[in-house]
Each structure stands twice: as structure tokens, then as C-alpha cells.
């Protein structure tokens, strides 16, 4: 019997998504910028670019550098600040009828908790905690590279909100499963991974870095095998739902992450190449399910042999 209309719905941290495809933070603006290129109401969820307490101008240019299989970026969390986001961006996002996940970023535990409190309001369905931020309380050490700091930050954010808390893991660590367990034990409702890999590119004629910030985050197809491996490792280590990301350019790329253990996937760099790429991924997932007689895409989560 053919599967004409496979069920693409998935559950993440108490949220029901009509399909497992969402935007990756920092690659899709606040969602509304892409409204003329694709139907935002068809997405599983919209994940906003990072929101900070105060407005930030970001890093000095140049901020983006294309690489052979992806891109480096050092935007520096440019955004108008939490109050402006709530006032100017959130009302538009509510109109699309899909879950809105707000990525939050801070320099200290206090900043994160204040953001969580401010954003615990109608129209926000979950928070994604960017633990790749430097912690000024610990001499600039990044939250996400230390178990204790990850746990303390996660626990504090969970205590400050009733919204689902999704912790976004950094790949720039020795063992990502240790960090994942720390977030789980501290109360995280889900994990998203991976964030960008730290990279650098040099202009050999000028003998200077291509990026104004010297280093940046590497994303795109080049990092997908790393993302698939880390998702698989973390899926074996925790009992939380995972949002996999890293180089998803088509449905097959998304399926790799799902088979490795991700319940949902986020699309990032592909949005710069083809603004309607997420709709293509959704269609491709449905086609795959029909071809392979899969009634529910949730059956594929972690189903790698």
C-alpha cells in the first residue's frame, strides 16, 4: 500500500511541529525578511537570529568569507536588543502560525536569565540558549566548553522561564557528549547541534585575515559530516530530543541527521544560496517517505543501521 500523505509532524520539547524543518539562528534574520521568497507558514518552526539585552553593532567588516564548501562568518550578534525585538519583530512573527523559537545570547548568567524573563510572553514558544558566548564572569571562557558553566547557565535559564529551553551546543569541544549530559541534567528540554566550527582564512597577498574579526564560524556542507557524527554521539548519550544542523542543503542532508538521531533539523547556509531551500527540503522529506513507504517521519529518528 502506498503512503500518499506521510505524517511529517514531530514533537520537540512539548511543541508540535508540522514538519521537522526550521531555520537556523543567524541565517534567516527574524524570518520576515524571507517572507517574499517562501511561505513561512509551511515551516516546522522559525528560529530567530540571536537577541541580546542591549543593541549590538556587531564585529568590524569584512564579516563574511566564502569557502570552498561553505562560508565563514563573524557577524558578532548584531541586533537591536530585546526590547526592540519584542516591540518591532515579534508581532509580525506571530502572524505566520508556526512556533517561534528565540535564540538568546548574553555575557553572563544574569544577562541570560533577564532575557529569559523578558521573552517569556505570548508569541514566543521556546528559547534557544546560545552557550557559545564568552562568559565575562569567567575571564571570557565560552560557556559551552565547560560542563559546570553549561549546567549553571542551563539551570538558571530554566528557573527563569516556563518556556521550553533548548541548549545549542558548540562543536569546539573535546567531547560534546559531556556537555550534552550537563545540559540535560540541568533541566534542558532539548538540544540543538552543531553550532559553527571556529575557522580562519588569510589573504596571502595582503598577509592579513579575510575577516575583520580574524576568526569566524565555519558553516555549510564542509561541516556536515562533523554534525552527523556529533548528533549520533549525543543521541546515544542523552534522552532529549535533538535538533540537528550543519550543512543541510537538501532533503538527503536532513535525512542523514534524522537517521543519526535528530528529531528535527535546522537549515542555515543554504538560505543564502537559495532562499526557498527549506520548502524544497520539506518536499524532499515527503517524497522520501512516499518512496520508502514510511508513514511517519518520526519512525526514521535514529534509525541508522
Grid look-up 548528533 returns: 231
User: Alpha-carbon distance 44 to 96, whole Å?
Assistant: 11
- Domain formed by 10-300, architecture: Alpha-Beta Barrel (3.20)
Instruction: Write out pLDDT tens, residues 54-107.
Output: 999 999 999 999 999 999 999 989 999 999 999 999 999 999 999 999 999 999
- For residue 1, is pLDDT > 60? no
> If DSSP codes are grouped into helix, strand and coil, which group holds residue 158?
helix
> Which residues form the catalytic set?
133
- For residue 45, is pLDDT > 80? yes
Q: Which residues contact 42 (CB under 8 A, 6 or more apart)?
A: 18, 19, 279, 282
Alpha-carbon distances of 177 from 145, 194, 195, 238, 303, rounded to whole Å: 11, 12, 14, 8, 19
Which strands, in side-by-side order, build the sheet including 242-245? Answer: 21-23, 264-267, 242-245, 190-193, 165-168, 126-130, 100-104, 46-47
76-95 per-residue burial string, b: 16 or more CB within 10 A, e: under 16: bbebbebeebbeebbeebee
> Which pTM value belongs to this model?
0.96
Instruction: Write out pLDDT tens, residues 172-227.
Output: 999 999 999 999 999 999 999 999 999 999 999 999 999 999 999 999 999 999 99
Grid look-up 511529517 returns: 8
Alpha-carbon distances of 26 from 73, 187, 216, rounded to whole Å: 10, 25, 13
Q: Are 268 and 27 within 8 A, CB to CB?
A: yes
Closest-CA residue to 235 (of 181, 275, 154): 181
How many other C-beta atoms lie within 10 A of the C-beta of residue 256?
A: 22
Confidence (pLDDT) at 132:
86
- For residue 139, is pLDDT > 60? no
Instruction: Write out pLDDT tens, residues 104-115.
Output: 999 999 999 999
How many other C-beta atoms lie within 10 A of the C-beta of residue 104?
A: 28
Grid look-up 520548502 returns: 279
Handedness of CA 265, 268, 273, 277 (dihedral sign): positive
Give the three cell numbers for residue 74.
Answer: 563573524
Amino acid at each position: 500500500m502506498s503512503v500518499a500523505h506521510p505524517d511529517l509532524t514531530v514533537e520537540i520539547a512539548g511543541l508540535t511541529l508540522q514538519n521537522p524543518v526550521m531555520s537556523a539562528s543567524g541565517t534567516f534574520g527574524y524570518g520576515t525578511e524571507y517572507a517574499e521568497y517562501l511561505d513561512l507558514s509551511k515551516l516546522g518552526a522559525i528560529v530567530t537570529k540571536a537577541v541580546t539585552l542591549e543593541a549590538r553593532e556587531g564585529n568590524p567588516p569584512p564579516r563574511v568569507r566564502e569557502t570552498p564548501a561553505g562560508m565563514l562568518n563573524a557577524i558578532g550578534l548584531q541586533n537591536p536588543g530585546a526590547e526592540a525585538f519584542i516591540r518591532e519583530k515579534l508581532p509580525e512573527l506571530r502572524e505566520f502560525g508556526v512556533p517561534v523559537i528565540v535564540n538568546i545570547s548574553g555575557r553572563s548568567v544574569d544577562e541570560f536569565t533577564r532575557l529569559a524573563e523578558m521573552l517569556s510572553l505570548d508569541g514566543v514558544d521556546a528559547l534557544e540558549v546560545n552557550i557559545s558566548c564568552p562568559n565575562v564572569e569567567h575571564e571570557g571562557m565560552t560557556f559551552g566548553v565547560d560542563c559546570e558553566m553549561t549546567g549553571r547557565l542551563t539551570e538558571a535559564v530554566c528557573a527563569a522561564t516556563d518556556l521550553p529551553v533548548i541548549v545549542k551546543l558548540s562543536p569546539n569541544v573535546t567531547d560534546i557528549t559531556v556537555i550534552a549530559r550537563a545540559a540535560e541534567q540541568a533541566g534542558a528540554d532539548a538540544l540543538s547541534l552543531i553550532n559553527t566550527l571556529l575557522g580562519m582564512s588569510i589573504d596571502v597577498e595582503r598577509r592579513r585575515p579575510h575577516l575583520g574579526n580574524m576568526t569566524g564560524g565555519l558553516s555549510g556542507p564542509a561541516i556536515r559530516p562533523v554534525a552527523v557524527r556529533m548528533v549520533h554521539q549525543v543521541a546515544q548519550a542523552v534522552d532529549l530530543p535533538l535538533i540537528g544542523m550543519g550543512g543541510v542543503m537538501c532533503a538527503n542532508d536532513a535525512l542523514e541527521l534524522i537517521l543519526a538521531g535528530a528529531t528535527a533539523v535546522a537549515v542555515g547556509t543554504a538560505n543564502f544560496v537559495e532562499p526557498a531551500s527549506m520548502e524544497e527540503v520539506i518536499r524532499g522529506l515527503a517524497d522520501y517517505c512516499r518512496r520508502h513507504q514510511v508513514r511517519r517521519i518520526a519512525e526514521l529518528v535514529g534509525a541508522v543501521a
